Amino acid sequence: MGNFKGHALPGSFFCFMSLWWSTKFTLKYACKKYKRTCYLGSKALFHRIEILEGIIIIGMALIGMAGEQFIPGGPYLTLYDYKGDHWNQLLGWHHCTMYFFFGLSGVANVLCHIYHSLPVSLTKLAMSNAFFVEAFIFYNHTHGRDMLDIYVHQLLVLVITGTGLIALIDFMKSNIILMLLYSSLVWLQGTWFWQIGFVLYPLNGGPAWEAMDHDNIMFLTICFCWHYAISLIIMGLNYALVTWLVKSKLKRFCSSEIGLLKNAEREQESEEEM
Amino acid sequence: MGNFKGHALPGSFFCFMSLWWSTKFTLKYACKKYKRTCYLGSKALFHRIEILEGIIIIGMALIGMAGEQFIPGGPYLTLYDYKGDHWNQLLGWHHCTMYFFFGLSGVANVLCHIYHSLPVSLTKLAMSNAFFVEAFIFYNHTHGRDMLDIYVHQLLVLVITGTGLIALIDFMKSNIILMLLYSSLVWLQGTWFWQIGFVLYPLNGGPAWEAMDHDNIMFLTICFCWHYAISLIIMGLNYALVTWLVKSKLKRFCSSEIGLLKNAEREQESEEEM
Amino acid sequence: MGNFKGHALPGSFFCFMSLWWSTKFTLKYACKKYKRTCYLGSKALFHRIEILEGIIIIGMALIGMAGEQFIPGGPYLTLYDYKGDHWNQLLGWHHCTMYFFFGLSGVANVLCHIYHSLPVSLTKLAMSNAFFVEAFIFYNHTHGRDMLDIYVHQLLVLVITGTGLIALIDFMKSNIILMLLYSSLVWLQGTWFWQIGFVLYPLNGGPAWEAMDHDNIMFLTICFCWHYAISLIIMGLNYALVTWLVKSKLKRFCSSEIGLLKNAEREQESEEEM
Amino acid sequence: MGNFKGHALPGSFFCFMSLWWSTKFTLKYACKKYKRTCYLGSKALFHRIEILEGIIIIGMALIGMAGEQFIPGGPYLTLYDYKGDHWNQLLGWHHCTMYFFFGLSGVANVLCHIYHSLPVSLTKLAMSNAFFVEAFIFYNHTHGRDMLDIYVHQLLVLVITGTGLIALIDFMKSNIILMLLYSSLVWLQGTWFWQIGFVLYPLNGGPAWEAMDHDNIMFLTICFCWHYAISLIIMGLNYALVTWLVKSKLKRFCSSEIGLLKNAEREQESEEEM
């Protein structure tokens, strides 16, 4: 969807997922650190949450794919235009394929937490995989376009590749800081989608930014860094908020439930450590 | 072999190996997880299977090398044409060299499982090595060809490099998911060989695809992703099938044999852990 | 600040930090190795030192940012020149952004050693992060400049990327040698900033070096290596000096204090191991 | 030294070191595996051997540096030609710098095994470092030369970078197979230096190979792979020979000495494990 909405939609999806992930990772870490084994931090709940997360990701992917195919003027599932003898709207199909791999990672998420015969690390690798495929597609997405257009998409490829790499490193050596960095890169990707929308399809209906001006490139370079700085600060504030909540507020709420949950959890824990 | 068959042959080899590897890795993982120490999952059998696998790889490499050299119009082991004063069919020699390194990794496979003084991790590194050499050769394989031709081979280099890297990561930190990803990339390589055949040497005898059309490039980008998606789904189905077999069907078959195998296995296990 | 002073200031900052880091890392290592648990090597002191280090980094970053903005002819916090309808001194803003991320890593340093709910590894990743952002900015810093100018900045990008990578590796597997290598690369970055100043803005007021002379490039290649060799030798001498001090001179000084510190340290140690 | 001898000298150095390293690594591994704690595999001897190895590397580096400076027509330690107002033979200085870093790694080798306050892993990182510097220098070594000349040096950069990376991986996770791969890449580098000599400065005094012929590039691609295959086979034969010697021949020789060495070794071992 080569318009503002087509960039705002995935941007919002990624920002939403980023906030959710940073909350989830911090919650898990804080609960473990302060030994709050209340219902909110229990494994039984997390299992259900992971399944829900998978379903939400699948939903987002389906919305994205449907949006790409069935917007007015979209390809409507036609890949080849036999009348005109040319491929039919390949950019839309590119976006569809990208959404499809995120959907696949959502499916992996759901399956992993339903069937215990699947290794849990699959979810991380599936996500990393989806990001690498996205980076590959965006890298081959801008043949023959203008310098500015190419540059903003290159920055997108940079942040997506970084996200995939961090997911891969985290797959090998799990760490709360890496997970938060991962979340912040996803947030950066989300806001950068919005920025691309503003640059290429200004909301006031005016023309796109001057595509051949070196100064625009130079500005977008630091603009990208500022987006990143903001994403780091938001992740930090979210971390502080969640940790403070777990540390101080949940004390009263949790203590009474420990007894009830202990048995159910122990069973699951022994399964998870495998 | 610059024709359809020359790409279909290695494509079939890689698809076959991919299916076999994903079956083997899943079988090993499932047998370990469900503690099925029957003959099918025993180390004695796996040793013999690994040796057989090595011999099959060597056989495939020999068939490939012979095919490259002795097809009608092939180089027939002549490297330099002294009459014409030029190198003789270097592309055929490129393919030969590629096959040779796979043969070498097959030899490593056989030796590793015959002589216990060789470390077992050699097999993984030898395979990773063969893929890196293949990527190097294909990277230097398309000097002065058309854009489309270069692009489809670049995608091949991409997937081969990825395979080599995953084999290297797996060498450092073994993991069932990495092994399955590795198998799926090998499958992708196999089907992509077929795709290259269809693109450059269409079966109906028509001309190759238009080499300078940007839309063809854009289509092959997503086509590559779809091949990958299919390979992931096939690996997933294979994993589900094998796990289901091990979990439910082998129960009856295995229980009686455990007693006989226990002693033989224990000895080997202690050797392996070294 | 496109002049000699603008390169000498960050150069001095990095050289200073490099010397301090190599001293700190060696001190920690030597104290651990020779089991000198005197006040100088105690964890209580190191906590305070780390907080001080963070404050100094924040101070440096603020000085740098203020210098970039408020030097005569600087941007004075104006990003867009609405009269001339163009961006206002983006190079200065580039430098500002770079300093900002180092300031952010200083903040992470301070927070980590005040609040124990933050993981200690955050400081390393924040530093690695600051270097990667710096590398990204310098990579996009030289659009349309001369060959020599681009080359000296490319070398800077090389050493900065290397520093970030080593910080990342060290984050995954801590090691004294990696830390010293990291310090030496920071020193190299510092002296290379000075070298860039000498090359592009000679002190005697003469013109910059001939920008299109291949021999200048060739010389700067080895010059870079010599800077590196010197940095390695300085790190080595510093290591020898600190180790010798800890080994021989501190014996007398430390023995009396061990009793007093033991209790305070034990508490902290148990917290750190988490 | 832009002639045949200038490439044969480092080529011989690298081949010699490669053979020695593969022998050393295999010897260490086999002695450990077959628990041959005779004098040949003892740590006391290995310490002395490592020091000797360091001295030999320093010697080679000094020979190389002297050769570069004081051959007839060499720079004779003059960096800048003030008469002609140009840099004096920078290619010779490039080679000198390269040798200097190998000398530095030799110094690290010697110091590490004399002073126990130095971590042993320093030797590996110093070697990795020397290779990375060499790769950097060769990468910036061929400005404005012919295609063939650039290509053969690019292949050199490829193998050197690979060697550096493997030394870095081995630094993080030591493994006999990685060490042998490392040795084989060093051997490949050595023989490739010889190949470059044959290509650019043919021994029969004839002209260099045609620099603009694509077929020469294509041939050198597979030629490089064949060098690599030979290096792998040589390493394999060497491994087999050394393992066979340790396994069968040293039995008689070693048994009598074990008693004498036990005490001396135990002390050292406890120091090493630190």
Interface of A with B (CB under 8 A): 86-87, 90-91, 93-94, 97, 100-101, 104, 117, 119, 121-122, 125, 129, 133, 136-137, 140-141, 143-144, 172, 274
Long-range contacts of D114-121 (CB under 8 A, 24+ apart): D114/D51, D116/D271, D117/C30, D117/C33, D117/C243, D117/C247, D119/C175, D119/C176, D119/C177, D120/D272, D121/C175, D121/C177, D121/D171
* H helical segments located in chain B: 4-33, 43-70, 90-114, 121-139, 147-172, 176-200, 214-244, 250-255, 258-272
Per DSSP, the three-state class of A3 is coil
Contact at CB, A143 and B33, closer than 8 angstroms: no
User: How many beta-carbon contacts under 8 Å exist across C and D?
Assistant: 58
Contact at CB, A100 and B221, closer than 8 angstroms: no
Those chains having 3 or more beta-carbon pairs within 8 angstroms of chain C are: A, D
User: How many beta-carbon contacts under 8 Å exist across A and B?
Assistant: 58
DSSP-assigned beta bridge partners for residue A81: A86
pLDDT tens-digit readout, B147-173: 888 999 999 999 999 999 999 988 888
User: How many beta-carbon contacts under 8 Å exist across A and C?
Assistant: 57
| Mutation for testing the C interface, residue in A154, A209, A213, A218 having most C CBs under 10 Å | A218
Considering CB atoms only, which of A175, A177, A222 is closest to C93? A222
DSSP-assigned beta bridge partners for residue C87: C80
**Maximum Cα–Cα distance across chain C:** 70
Looking only at the bridges linking them, the beta strands covering A86-87 and A80-81 are antiparallel
Q: For residue A88, give the DSSP letter.
A: -
Q: Which of C131, C95, C134, C77 is nearest to C2 (CA)?
A: C95
The pLDDT confidence band at residue C39, using thresholds 50, 70 and 90, is low
Query: In the predicted model, what is the mean pLDDT of residues D5-12?
Result: 90
The pLDDT confidence band at residue C273, using thresholds 50, 70 and 90, is very low
Task: Enter the tokens of residue A77.
Answer: 């599932």
Top pLDDT among A74 and B104 is at B104
Min Cα separation D225/chain C (Å)? 29
Query: In the predicted model, what is the mean pLDDT of residues A17-28?
Result: 92
Residue A36 is predicted with a pLDDT of 58
Burial of residue B47, with CB atoms counted within 10 A of its CB: 0-12 exposed, 13-18 middle, 19 or more buried: middle
Contact at CB, B97 and D226, closer than 8 angstroms: yes
Contact at CB, D274 and C33, closer than 8 angstroms: yes
The pLDDT confidence band at residue D144, using thresholds 50, 70 and 90, is confident
Residue A223 is predicted with a pLDDT of 93
Looking only at the bridges linking them, the beta strands covering A86-87 and B80-81 are unpaired
Contact at CB, C226 and D121, closer than 8 angstroms: no
pLDDT tens-digit readout, C143-194: 778 888 899 999 999 999 999 999 998 888 888 889 999 999 999 999 999 9
* Chain A residues whose beta carbon lies within 8 Å of the beta carbon of residue B217: 140, 143
Q: What CA–CA distance (Å, rounded) separates C36 from C26? A: 13
Contact at CB, D214 and B143, closer than 8 angstroms: yes
Angle (CA) B43-B49-B51 rounded to 5° is 110
Q: What CA–CA distance (Å, rounded) separates C193 from C14? A: 9
Question: If you measure CA to CA, which chain C residue comes closest to A227?
Answer: C97
Task: With beta carbons less than 8 A apart as the criterion, state whether C180 and C25 touch.
Answer: yes
Considering CB atoms only, which of B101, B119, B136 is closest to D177? B119
* Chain D residues whose beta carbon lies within 8 Å of the beta carbon of residue C181: 125, 129
**High-pLDDT (> 90) share of chain C, %:** 45
Min Cα separation D201/chain B (Å)? 20
Min Cα separation A109/chain B (Å)? 13
Contact at CB, D90 and C219, closer than 8 angstroms: yes
Contact at CB, A101 and B225, closer than 8 angstroms: yes
Task: Enter the tokens of residue A190.
Answer: 């989300």
Query: In the predicted model, what is the mean pLDDT of residues A90-95?
Result: 88
Looking only at the bridges linking them, the beta strands covering B80-81 and B86-87 are antiparallel
Q: What CA–CA distance (Å, rounded) separates A74 from A61? A: 17
Min Cα separation A222/chain C (Å)? 6
Q: What CA–CA distance (Å, rounded) separates C134 from C184? A: 17
Task: With beta carbons less than 8 A apart as the criterion, state whether D184 and D167 touch.
Answer: no
| Mutation for testing the D interface, residue in B79, B123, B132, B136 having most D CBs under 10 Å | B136
> In sequence order, which residues have a C-beta less than 8 Å from that of residue C80 and are 6 or more positions away?
C86, C87, C88
Q: For residue C247, give the DSSP letter.
A: I
Is C touching B (3+ C-beta pairs, cut-off 8 A)?
no
Q: What CA–CA distance (Å, rounded) separates B181 from B161? A: 13
| Mutation for testing the C interface, residue in D136, D153, D270 having most C CBs under 10 Å | D136
Statement: the pTM of the whole predicted model exceeds 0.95 = no
**Hunting for tokens 């004294």 — which residue is that?**
C176
pLDDT at B272 > cutoff 50: no
| Mutation for testing the D interface, residue in B116, B122, B139, B140 having most D CBs under 10 Å | B140
Interface of B with A (CB under 8 A): 30, 33, 158, 169, 173, 175-178, 181, 214-219, 221-222, 224-226, 228-229, 232, 243, 247
Q: What CA–CA distance (Å, rounded) separates B44 from B40? A: 9
DSSP string of C64-112, one letter each residue: HHHHHHHSTTS-TT--EETTTTEE--HHHHHHHHHHHHHHHHHHHHHHH
Q: What CA–CA distance (Å, rounded) separates B232 from B161? A: 18
Q: Which helix (H) or strand (E) holds A80?
A: strand A80-81
The pLDDT confidence band at residue C254, using thresholds 50, 70 and 90, is low
Is D touching C (3+ C-beta pairs, cut-off 8 A)?
yes
* Chain C residues whose beta carbon lies within 8 Å of the beta carbon of residue D104: 229, 232
Residue C232 is predicted with a pLDDT of 94
Considering CB atoms only, which of B97, B117, B143 is closest to D222? B97
Task: With beta carbons less than 8 A apart as the criterion, state whether A83 and B212 touch.
Answer: no
Q: What CA–CA distance (Å, rounded) separates D51 from D57? A: 10
> ipTM, 2 decimals?
0.85
Q: How many CA atoms lie within 13 A of D52 on its CB side?
A: 10
Q: Which of B1, B12, B4 is nearest to B203 (CA)?
A: B4
Query: In the predicted model, what is the mean pLDDT of residues A216-240?
Result: 93
Contact at CB, A218 and C140, closer than 8 angstroms: yes
Task: Enter the tokens of residue A114.
Answer: 């339903």
The pLDDT confidence band at residue A108, using thresholds 50, 70 and 90, is very high
The pLDDT confidence band at residue B253, using thresholds 50, 70 and 90, is low
Q: Which of B215, D78, B266, B141 is nearest to A141 (CA)?
A: B215
Considering CB atoms only, which of A177, A214, A216 is closest to C119? A177
Burial of residue A205, with CB atoms counted within 10 A of its CB: 0-12 exposed, 13-18 middle, 19 or more buried: exposed
pLDDT mean across residues, chain C: 84
pLDDT at B3 > cutoff 90: no
Q: Which helix (H) or strand (E) holds D153?
A: helix D147-172
| Range among A30-39, D45-54, D142-151 with highest mean pLDDT value | D45-54
Angle (CA) D108-C165-C226 rounded to 5° is 45
Considering CB atoms only, which of A91, A121, A137 is closest to B225? A137
